[in-house]
Amino acid sequence: MTPDQLTEAITSGLVTGGQAWIVQTAAAMLPAFWILTLALHLSRPYMLRMLHKFTLRFGADIWWLAYVLLRDAVILLTFGLGIVLFYPNLVKTDALPLTGSLATALLLVALAVKLTRDADDNARDFRLTTTLVLVASALYLVPQVFGVEAGDQDYLKAVSTFLTTSGNVGWAMPLLYLSYLILIVTACYLFVEVTFRKVRGPISRRPAGGAATEQRTQPARVGKA
């Protein structure tokens, strides 16, 4: 073997091994992140009850801000790790949850609702976000448990084959394309909302008397849907 062939073999092995390690690590961590996402979102009533027990406003603010930061950060991490489910080669060759990509796409829709609406104070927006998180969690955890993790169970062999991407490519690829469509539509919605409807910049005005002063206009209030 020549030095060039040896270098190419080592490089190919490192790339292939690194890719496999990243995918396996993400696949191993995703169930825990999905459960944590669901638990943190559904624990909001408990957090509100504890909020009223604080005697100092500062303590209550720290409690609520820490909860919101942790809850939304976990959702973002779950969505970030779920990106590995959108690679067509991995979907065809690896045993991944059949509806994992669709679950990740619905999680992005939930993030879009949080970003563009008031899901903490508006009951309708909170119910919409809760429904999206619940459906997305079920779409990931059910095929993960009964598909990926049940592959060595003889009595669940047919169910496991149906609920994994490599064993059911005929369903996996259309679901992947549907997830792509949801991602594109949600990204366009976020772009329009953030760029054209939410941004209100300062406007400099010169009074009629000629004095060069700047007046900062207040952002227009957007009514809740």
**pLDDT tens-place string over residues 128-161:** 999 999 999 999 999 999 988 887 787 888 888 8
User: What does the pLDDT look like over 24-41, one tens digit per residue?
Assistant: 777 778 999 999 999 999
Who has greater pLDDT, 222 or 13? 13
**Other residues' Cβ atoms within 10 Å of the Cβ of residue 213:** 9
Q: What share of the chain is helix, strand, coil (3-state, %, to 5)?
A: 75, 0, 25
- pLDDT for 225: 36
Half-sphere exposure of 73 (CA within 13 A, CB side): 6
Mean of per-residue pLDDT scores for the chain: 82
Which pLDDT band holds residue 198 (cuts at 50, 70, 90)? low
- Furthest-apart CA pair in the chain: how many Å? 87
